[in-house]
Amino acid sequence: MESAIKKNLVLFLVGKVTSVLGSSIYAFAIGLYILAETGSSLNFAITLVLSMLPRILLAPVAGTLSDRLDRKKMIIFSNFASAFWLGIILASFLFFTQEIWILYVATTGLSIISTFYSIAVTSSIYNMVGPDHLQRAMSLNQAAISLSAILGPVLGGVFFGIIHIHLFMALNILTFLFAAFASILIEYNLFSKKVQDKKTTRMSEDLKQGISYIKAQPFLLHLVILSVWLNFWFAVFPVAMPYLVLTVRGMSPTQLGIIEGSFSVGMMVMALILSAKKEIRRKELSITGGMVLLSAVLMMIGLPAIPLFMGLSNIVIFAFLMSMVLILSASIMFINTPVMVLLQKNTPDEYRGRVMSLLETGSSAMTPAGFILFGFLLEKLPVWLLLAVCGLSLFAVVFYLYREKMFLKLLRDEDQPRAASI
53-82, pLDDT tens digit by residue?
A: 888 888 888 888 888 888 889 999 999 999
Count of domains in the chain? Answer: 2
What Å distances lie between residue 44 and 27, 112, 382, CA to CA? 11, 19, 27
pLDDT digits (tens, 9 = 90+) for 402-417: 776 666 776 666 666 4
Whole-number pLDDT of residue 275: 83
124 shares its domain with 220? no
Tell me the whole-structure pTM to 2 decimals: 0.79
By C-alpha distance, which of 52, 82, 77 is closest to 66? 77
Over residues 227-241, mean pLDDT:
84
389 shares its domain with 248? yes
As a whole number of angstroms, the distance between CA 23 and CA 17 comes to: 10
Which of 190, 213, 241 terminates a domain? The answer is: 190
Over residues 335-347, mean pLDDT:
83
179 shares its domain with 46? yes
By C-alpha distance, which of 273, 23, 266 is closest to 139? 273
Confidence band of 419 (pLDDT split at 50, 70, 90): very low
As a whole number of angstroms, the distance between CA 311 and CA 303 comes to: 12
As a whole number of angstroms, the distance between CA 147 and CA 21 comes to: 8
Whole-number pLDDT of residue 388: 93
As a whole number of angstroms, the distance between CA 370 and CA 376 comes to: 10
Over residues 96-104, mean pLDDT:
81
Whether residue 150 lies inside any domain: the answer is yes
Q: Kindly report the three-state secondary structure assignment for every residue of the chain.
A: CHHHHHHHHHHHHHHHHHHHHHHHHHHHHHHHHHHHHHCCHHHHHHHHHHHHHHHHHHHHHHHHHHHHCCHHHHHHHHHHHHHHHHHHHHHHHHHCCCCHHHHHHHHHHHHHHHHHHHHHHHHHHHHHHCHHHHHHHHHHHHHHHHHHHHHHHHHHHHHHCCCCHHHHHHHHHHHHHHHHHHHHHCCCCCCCCCCCCCCCCCHHHHHHHHHHHHHHCHHHHHHHHHHHHHHHHHCHHHHHHHHHHHHHCCCCHHHHHHHHHHHHHHHHHHHHHHHHCCCCCCHHHHHHHHHHHHHHHHHHHCHHHCHHHCCCCHHHHHHHHHHHHHHHHHHHHHHHHHHHHHHHHHCCHHHHHHHHHHHHHHHHHHHHHHHHHHHHHCCCCCHHHHHHHHHHHHHHHHHHHHHHCHHHHHHHHHHHHHHHHC
55 vs 299, higher pLDDT: 299
Over residues 2-12, mean pLDDT:
86
Whole-number pLDDT of residue 1: 73
Confidence band of 418 (pLDDT split at 50, 70, 90): very low
318 shares its domain with 419? yes
176 shares its domain with 207? no
Over residues 358-385, mean pLDDT:
81
Indicate which CATH number applies to the domain containing 87: 1.20.1250.20
211 shares its domain with 329? yes
Q: Is the pLDDT of residue 371 over 80?
A: no
150-176 burial: b if 16+ Cβ within 10 Å, else e:
bbbbebbeeebeeeebeebbebbbebb
218 shares its domain with 86? no
186 shares its domain with 212? no
By C-alpha distance, which of 7, 264, 279, 21 is closest to 146? 264
Whether residue 197 lies inside any domain: the answer is no
Over residues 298-312, mean pLDDT:
89
As a whole number of angstroms, the distance between CA 210 and CA 350 comes to: 9
Whole-number pLDDT of residue 197: 53
Whether residue 115 lies inside any domain: the answer is yes
pLDDT digits (tens, 9 = 90+) for 344-360: 887 888 888 888 888 87
162 shares its domain with 184? yes
Percent of the chain beyond pLDDT 70?
Answer: 91
Whether residue 198 lies inside any domain: the answer is no
Whole-number pLDDT of residue 422: 35
The least confident of 24-28, 41-45, 132-136, 178-182 is: 41-45
Over residues 239-247, mean pLDDT:
85
3 shares its domain with 136? yes
Which of 190, 213, 236 terminates a domain? The answer is: 190
Whole-number pLDDT of residue 298: 92
Whether residue 173 lies inside any domain: the answer is yes
109 vs 159, higher pLDDT: 109
Whether residue 86 lies inside any domain: the answer is yes
What Å distances lie between residue 35 and 105, 152, 187, CA to CA? 17, 17, 42
342 shares its domain with 241? yes
Confidence band of 421 (pLDDT split at 50, 70, 90): very low
Confidence band of 372 (pLDDT split at 50, 70, 90): confident
Whether residue 158 lies inside any domain: the answer is yes
Q: How many alpha carbons lie under 13 Å from residue 224 in its C-beta half-sphere?
A: 22
Q: Is the pLDDT of residue 199 over 60?
A: no
Whole-number pLDDT of residue 59: 86
What Å distances lie between residue 21 and 36, 225, 274, 319, 373, CA to CA? 22, 31, 22, 28, 31
Over residues 368-380, mean pLDDT:
81
The least confident of 95-109, 308-322, 385-399 is: 95-109
Whole-number pLDDT of residue 88: 92
Which of 190, 222, 239 terminates a domain? The answer is: 190
As to burial, measured by CB atoms within 10 angstroms (0-12 exposed, 13-18 middle, 19+ buried), residue 218 is middle
185 shares its domain with 226? no
Domain holding 67, by residue range, is 1-190
As a whole number of angstroms, the distance between CA 70 and CA 68 comes to: 7
